[in-house]
């Protein structure tokens, strides 16, 4: 294992910048590269991320778009008015996850100016 560094959140980084596997975390602990507390935190973080990222979910991007994750290989990015149009097309009710998310994050969301909603 050449070119191993510990980054700011404690993960072992290899030359191609892939995050470490469980086995690598345990090996780093065994070889004294990381502390027990750090290894436990890293393993817990991987477990949390794995469980969270398995289900489809929305996030607001720094550009004010809504990203939908875990539907396909890459996230689906649309502006709020595009999601509204899609929600109308799919006949989503006002209490759907999409509209709840949009309402909760309305201050962060942006719309395309002069967007033709027809």
Determine the pLDDT at residue 50: 54
DSSP for the chain, please give it.
--S-EE-TTS-EE-TT-PBPPHHHHHHHHHTTSS-HHHHHHHHHHHHHHHHHTTS-EEEE-TTS-EEEESSSSS-EEE-HHHHHHHHHHTT--TTSHHHHHHHHTTTT----TT----
> pTM of the full predicted structure?
0.51
Which tens digit of pLDDT belongs to each residue from 48-89?
A: 665 555 788 899 999 999 999 888 878 999 999 999 999 999
What is the per-residue pLDDT across 90-109, written as a single tens digit (0 to 9) for each? 888 888 888 999 999 999 99
> What is the domain partition of the chain in residue ranges?
5-52, 57-104
Instruction: Give the per-residue pLDDT at 68.
Output: 92
Confidence of residue 16 (pLDDT cuts 50, 70, 90): very low
């Amino acid at each position: 294992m050449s070119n191993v560094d510990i980054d700011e959140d404690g993960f072992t980084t290899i030359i191609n910048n892939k995050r470490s596997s469980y086995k690598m975390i345990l090996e780093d602990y065994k070889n004294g590269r990381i502390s027990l507390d750090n290894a436990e935190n890293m393993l817990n973080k991987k477990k949390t991320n794995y469980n969270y990222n398995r289900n489809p979910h929305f996030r607001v991007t720094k550009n004010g778009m809504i990203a939908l994750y875990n539907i396909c290989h890459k996230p689906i990015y649309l502006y709020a008015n595009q999601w509204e149009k899609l929600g109308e097309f799919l006949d989503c009710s006002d209490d759907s996850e999409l509209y709840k998310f949009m309402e909760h994050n309305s201050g962060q969301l942006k719309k395309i100016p002069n967007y033709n909603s027809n």
